[in-house]
């Protein structure tokens, strides 16, 4: 009897050990607190381009398909948080739009629980580091934080993507953005929630260039391509707890193991673009040349139709 008991105890211990080991080995999936229902992404043309926001949304569509989470992209091309614009911007056609001109309207209309903001690329206006421009960037971010706090939302900052001097043609501007990113990271000590994109993207670029000297993340030095957007999405997802993306090198690879993964990614991208255009039009802005969106009620009806297709695929 004692031997049977010993064997039983040994078996239980073994099962517990194996289960505990399996749980410990299982990669963690990114999560968003239950009280967050709407996430709003703010930024310049990189955010407007949407690649990293689409990948972020596709992650939650595939990992948490039953979660009622609304992800809105209201990034605006050419925008700054500093309110600065270089002389002759867009060949003199228009100055860079200032986020603060539209921020109140965006927050009032979208009613976010969480804001993810990525600014900096345009804020140094492609000139050498200078104290007043740097101060305007810092003050603009502080004003943004105050506005988001005033509507009771949480804000997460992301450092600017790197600038590639060799491809963009503005020698030294990459170092300006590194300084902007370093300052933003320093604000963690003051309680700011900050995700570093600049450092990991520069590290990835350097690693690839060891094997392929002509490799680049952004063809024009400013706007990341698909791989650059994926690096941005991956760092943001890691901030929210994702540990299931090691070795994953693209948004397509992220969903490739799912039976209908590519279709899900395509539908999520279509939904994001549809609502981005509608919300930008509905909330208004001062950037000429941006494609007009559908009336918001019509866009939301089409988004719900896409949701039905997504539910069927999942």
Q: pLDDT tens for residues 210-235?
A: 999 999 999 999 999 999 999 999 99
- At 9 the pLDDT is 38
DSSP output for 182-226: HHHHHGGGGT--EE--HHHHHHHHHHHHHH-TT--SBTTSSSB-H
In a 3-state reduction of DSSP, which class is residue 56?
helix
* C-alpha span between 55 and 237 (Å, rounded): 9
Pick the closest to residue 120 from 144, 101, 149 (CA basis).
144
Q: Which residues of the chain have pLDDT under 50?
A: 1-24
| Biggest CA pair distance of the chain | 92
DSSP output for 34-97: TT--EEEEEESHHHHH-HHHHHHHHHHHHHSTT---EEEE---TT-BSS----TTGGGGT-PPP
Torsion from C-alpha of 221, 226, 228, 230, nearest 10 degrees: 160
* C-alpha span between 155 and 227 (Å, rounded): 26
Strand partners, 129: none
In a 3-state reduction of DSSP, which class is residue 120?
coil
Using one digit for the tens of pLDDT, what is the confidence trace for 138-181? 999 999 999 999 999 999 999 999 999 999 999 999 999 999 99
Strands 114-118 and 194-195, bridge-based pairing: unpaired
- Helices 198-211 and 226-239 meet at what angle, rounded to 10? 140
* C-alpha span between 30 and 239 (Å, rounded): 8
Q: What pTM did the predictor assign? A: 0.91
First to last CA, the chain: 51
| Assigned CATH class of 31-313 | alpha beta
Q: Where are the domains of the chain?
A: 31-313
- At 26 the pLDDT is 62
């Amino acid at each position: 009897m004692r031997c049977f008991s010993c064997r039983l105890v040994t078996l239980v211990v073994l099962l517990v050990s194996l289960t505990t080991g399996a749980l410990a080995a299982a990669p963690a999936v990114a999560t968003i607190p239950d009280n967050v229902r709407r996430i709003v992404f703010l930024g310049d043309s990189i955010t407007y381009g949407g690649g990293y926001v689409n990948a972020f949304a596709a992650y939650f569509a595939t990992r948490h398909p039953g979660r009622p989470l609304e992800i809105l992209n209201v990034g605006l091309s050419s925008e700054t948080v500093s309110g600065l614009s270089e002389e002759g911007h867009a060949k003199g056609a228009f100055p860079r739009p200032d986020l603060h001109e539209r921020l109140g309207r965006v927050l009032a209309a979208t009613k976010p629980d969480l804001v993810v903001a990525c600014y900096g690329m345009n804020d140094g206006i492609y000139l050498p580091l200078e104290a007043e421009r740097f101060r305007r960037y810092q003050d603009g971010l502080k004003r943004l934080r105050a506005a988001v706090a005033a509507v009771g939302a949480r804000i997460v900052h992301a450092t600017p993507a790197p600038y590639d001097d060799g491809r963009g043609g503005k020698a030294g501007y990459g170092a300006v953005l590194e300084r902007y990113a370093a300052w933003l990271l320093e604000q963690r000590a003051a309680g700011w929630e900050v995700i570093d994109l600049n450092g990991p993207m520069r590290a990835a670029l350097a690693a690839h260039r060891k094997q392929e000297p002509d490799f680049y993340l952004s063809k024009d030095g400013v706007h990341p391509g698909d791989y650059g957007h994926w690096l941005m999405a991956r760092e943001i997802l890691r901030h929210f707890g994702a540990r299931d993306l090691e070795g994953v090198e693209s948004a397509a690879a992220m969903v490739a193991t799912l039976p209908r993964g590519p279709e899900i990614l395509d539908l999520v991208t279509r939904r994001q673009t549809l609502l981005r255009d509608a919300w930008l039009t509905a909330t208004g802005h001062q950037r000429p040349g941006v494609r007009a969106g559908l009336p918001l009620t019509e866009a939301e009806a089409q988004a719900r139709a896409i949701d039905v297709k997504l539910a069927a695929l999942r």
